[in-house]
């Protein structure tokens, strides 16, 4: 059951009626049941995993709330970290560990075992949510859940269960204390976010998918420099539209129910520094890594070298969080190394960059992000190496008189039109931030109508899974 399926939009009114129509206690119970049904649509057996994960941290949380003994509290939060990361390690990283051990030990793991291994949908997201609850209780930054039912609803709430945003207990649990009133303005806003999210997914992301597949999976070795850059930029557009579309729908659905989720994207491709990019891209993950990993490691408080090491370690683990593949580790390492390098260079410069330099910096950040997306998307390291080589090394051959075309086997230029809506969204965000231009209700209504029309006309028969479902 995915957000772009008919069955979900038949399921949603049932959830809305249960949440808004039943007495509040029954409504919370009903929403828990419906959320578990939503998850069971993929694999009913893994509902037990969510229940176990929630039960572990609920019991640990109750024990943390009941004691002031510092040593016992430290043992409890350590137990939560070990159990949560243990579950994540076993269910998500077993195939990667087996392949790596086989490569180092000179043996081949059973291919049937590797192929049959199914990673539970959304395990990276709900594991981080349960873990953050225990850590926040240890830090005394959140009150314990009033009941296991409320805590399970926090963990399993269906809009954000499988692909975020990663929600903090201290912002979600208070919303379960009473049912918030639902205004016409919130309904309109929630509906708009759902329509916008569906447009990004169905029209933009799914529209770009065949071109991205052609560039990365079919003709990677034959790409010219221009074709390689074009394919990478198309994937940059696809992953933004796919993930921002999903989280936009999640925010919209929560809004329709009268609940609030944090924003997860703020025009990331407008960033003029890599640190700014990570403050605008997958915000719920980047702030989670900051609060629960970077700061506890010492952040930037223990000297320059330690800061650079912390940045690298956090981004390596952030890459590994995304997937059980060394390609993701390399992707994270590239970002970590670049963040450390930028931090080192910026320590020499005290004055802000002038306008022309900010434009150049924005282009450089955009280009760097597109290069790193190659390792995120490529099916293996050899393909990633070939595309990155075409992007970074082959252009010098072009300057010497080589091929400047996109390449006869590269994606068609017509797919570039699908990047226009992303550019418009970024422009609207920039105008809002730079000039405080309010968002017009009339313009939103017109945009919603146009997007609904586009969804109807351009919906493809082939269904593409949301990219972040695999994480």
| Tokens representing residue 430 in the block | 């920039």
Q: Which of the two residues, 111 and 253, has the higher pLDDT score? A: 253
pLDDT band, residue 420 (cuts 50/70/90): very high
Which one, of 12, 375, 419, lies nearest residue 216 by Cα? 375
pLDDT at 1 over 90: no
Token pair 């169905």 is found at 202
What number of CA atoms fall less than 13 Å from residue 319's CA on the CB side?
23
Single out the catalytic residue among 178, 322, 426, 432: 322
Give the span between the Cα atoms of 239 and 470, in whole angstroms.
13
Dist. CA 370–CA 236, nearest whole Å = 6
322 among known catalytic residues: yes
The domain spans of the chain are 6-179, 186-272+353-470
Entry pTM:
0.93
Residue 402 pLDDT level (bands cut at 50, 70, 90): low
d(CA 274, CA 278) in angstroms, rounded, equals: 6
Whether 130 contacts 288, CB under 8 Å? no
Q: What is the largest CA-CA distance in the chain?
A: 74
**What is the rounded average pLDDT of the residues 24-43?**
96
Token pair recorded at residue 140: 């005394």
Residue range 185-241, pLDDT digits in tens: 999 999 999 999 999 999 999 999 999 998 887 666 677 888 899 999 999 999 999
From residue 375, give the alpha-carbon distance in Å to each of 68, 109, 325. 46, 24, 10
Question: Rounded CA gap, 88 and 91, in Å?
Answer: 5
Q: List Cα–Cα distances, 281 to 139, 271, 322, 367, 467, in angstroms.
A: 27, 10, 14, 15, 15
**Collapsing DSSP states into helix, strand and coil, what is residue 369?**
helix
Using one digit for the tens of pLDDT, what is the confidence trace for 294-343? 999 998 888 899 999 999 999 999 999 998 889 999 999 999 999 999 99
The tokens describing 267, both together, are 């025009």
Give the separation between CA 88 and CA 117, rounded to whole angstroms: 14
pLDDT-derived band at 350 (thresholds 50, 70, 90) equals: low
d(CA 81, CA 78): 5
């Amino acid at each position: 059951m995915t957000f772009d399926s008919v069955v979900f939009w038949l399921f949603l009114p049932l959830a809305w009626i249960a949440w808004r129509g039943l007495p509040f206690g029954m409504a919370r119970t009903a929403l828990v049941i419906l959320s578990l049904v939503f998850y069971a649509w993929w694999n009913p057996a893994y509902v037990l995993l969510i229940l176990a994960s929630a039960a572990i941290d609920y019991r640990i949380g109750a024990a943390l709330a009941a004691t002031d003994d510092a040593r016992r509290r430290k043992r409890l939060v350590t137990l939560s970290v070990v159990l949560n990361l243990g579950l994540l390690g076993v269910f998500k990283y077993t195939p990667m560990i087996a392949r790596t051990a086989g490569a180092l030990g000179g043996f081949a793991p059973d291919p049937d075992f590797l192929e049959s291994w199914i990673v539970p949908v959304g395990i990276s997201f709900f594991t981080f949510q349960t873990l953050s609850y225990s850590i926040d209780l240890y830090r005394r930054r959140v009150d314990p859940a009033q009941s296991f039912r409320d805590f399970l609803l926090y963990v399993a709430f269906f809009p954000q269960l499988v692909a975020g945003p990663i929600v903090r207990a201290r912002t979600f649990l208070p919303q379960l204390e009473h049912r918030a009133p639902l205004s016409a303005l919130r309904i309109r806003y929630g509906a708009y976010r759902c329509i916008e999210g569906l447009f990004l997914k169905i029209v933009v992301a799914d529209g770009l998918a065949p071109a991205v597949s052609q560039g990365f999976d079919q003709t990677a070795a034959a790409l010219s420099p221009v074709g390689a850059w074009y394919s990478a930029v198309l994937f940059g557009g696809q992953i933004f539209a796919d993930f921002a579309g999903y989280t936009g729908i999640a925010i919209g659905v929560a809004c329709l129910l009268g609940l609030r989720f944090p924003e997860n994207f703020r025009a990331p491709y407008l960033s003029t520094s890599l640190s700014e990019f990570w403050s605008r891209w997958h915000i719920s993950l980047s702030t989670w890594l900051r609060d629960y990993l970077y700061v506890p490691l010492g952040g930037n408080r223990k000297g320059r070298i330690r800061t650079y090491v912390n940045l690298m370690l956090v981004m390596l683990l952030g890459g590994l969080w995304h997937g059980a593949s060394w390609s993701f580790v390399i992707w994270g390492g590239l970002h970590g190394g670049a963040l450390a390098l930028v931090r080192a260079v910026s320590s020499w410069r005290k004055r802000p960059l002038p306008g022309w330099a900010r434009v150049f910096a924005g282009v450089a950040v955009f280009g760097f992000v597109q290069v790193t997306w190659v390792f995120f998307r490529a099916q293996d390291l050899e393909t990633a190496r070939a595309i990155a080589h075409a992007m970074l090394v082959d252009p010098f051959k072009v300057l010497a008189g080589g091929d400047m075309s996109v390449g006869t086997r590269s994606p068609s230029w017509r797919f570039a039109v699908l990047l226009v809506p992303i550019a418009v969204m970024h422009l609207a965000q920039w105008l809002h931030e730079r000039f405080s231009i309010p968002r017009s209700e009339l313009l939103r209504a017109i945009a919603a109508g146009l997007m609904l029309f586009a969804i109807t006309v351009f919906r493809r028969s082939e269904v593409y899974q949301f990219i972040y479902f695999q994480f």
